[in-house]
Amino acid sequence: MNLHKLILTNNACYKAGRTITPKGIMVHSTGANNPNLKRYVGPDDGLLGKNQYNNHWNQDKPDGRQVCVHGFIGKLADGSVATYQTLPWNMRGWHCGSGSKGSGNDTHIGFEICEDGLTDASYFSAVYKEAVELCVYLCKQYNLTEKDVICHCEGYKLGIASNHGDVMHWFPKHGKSMDTFRAEVGKLLVASGTEQPDASADEPAIFEQYRVRVSIATLNIRKGPGTDYGALGKYTGKGVFTIVEEADGAGASKWGLLKSYKKSRAGWISLDYTTKL
């Protein structure tokens, strides 16, 4: 999942500041042919691109409506697909209205997949995969299972959402359904084991990787964050490197994990010898 964060703090929903205990996830799609995240998420963070109409949802009432969701999946300016978190996950969103039995806004995290013309198979498969991964991430965080994942039209049938058809006007065009979606979420939950992250922490810290310049040739790479961890016997050399995690440890004010060691987690450098770019 290509997860970014831009909280829509100017939206009246965010300002209302109500929280929920998430009991499920509701998948939406926007119902408009515009796959670009910048239509909904702004201002431009350098990746989204500029919304020339300034009609994104980071304003009190976007398009005059009381509406806000926890996330969007769509295209960045460079055409790649990403997910943006746009509300704290445990904040009460305004994504599904209500039905005969109440409102899913009180119980469900809701995110939108930006629709395109609905016929592009490669765009669909990219956003579908991203949505599956987002649901897995949220299920783990809030102790949910794939059975807790529904779409807006299923919410309507359950009596907790307004009468909308999303996402079932789209998924079947590409041979998918909410059942295939749930099955894929379930499969990934099993594959990633039963270990649950600490659900008592409302918001995980989402670490934004960044790049640093190293200007000495002999910066040691260590197995862990500290001079008390062994050196790998390798040096970075001079150049630009991506840091994917930070940690405190002996011998430096901060240690950084190099992206190329992300999997093994055994490649740390002292950030004292780097300049953040």
The region of 84-92, 144-152, 200-208, 237-245 touching Zn ion under the rule CB under 5 A is 144-152
Residues 104/24, Cβ–Cβ less than 8 Å: yes
- Quote the least distance from Cβ 45 to Zn ion, whole Å: 25
CA distance 149 to 123: 22
- Quote the least distance from Cβ 104 to Zn ion, whole Å: 10
Residues 25/144, Cβ–Cβ less than 8 Å: yes
Amino acid at 215: S
- Quote the least distance from Cβ 178 to Zn ion, whole Å: 13
Considering just the CA atoms, what is the radius of gyration of the chain in Å?
Answer: 21
- Quote the least distance from Cβ 252 to Zn ion, whole Å: 48
- Per CB under 5 A, does 166 bind Zn ion? yes
Given the structure tokens 């205990």, which residue do they identify? 21
Judged by CB under 5 A, the residue of 70, 140, 152, 182 near Zn ion is 152
44: Cβ contacts below 8 Å, ≥ 6 apart: 38, 50, 51
Of residues 28 and 39, the one with the C-beta less far from Zn ion: 28
- Quote the least distance from Cβ 99 to Zn ion, whole Å: 12
Q: Compose the 18-37 pattern: x for residues touching Zn ion by CB under 5 A, - for all others.
A: ----------x---------
Phi and psi angles of residue 15, each rounded to the nearest 5 degrees, phi first: -65, -30
Beta strands, E only, 100-156: 108-113, 149-151
Judged by CB under 5 A, the residue of 92, 164, 182, 222 near Zn ion is 164
**Contact positions vs Zn ion (CB under 5 A):** 28, 152, 164, 166
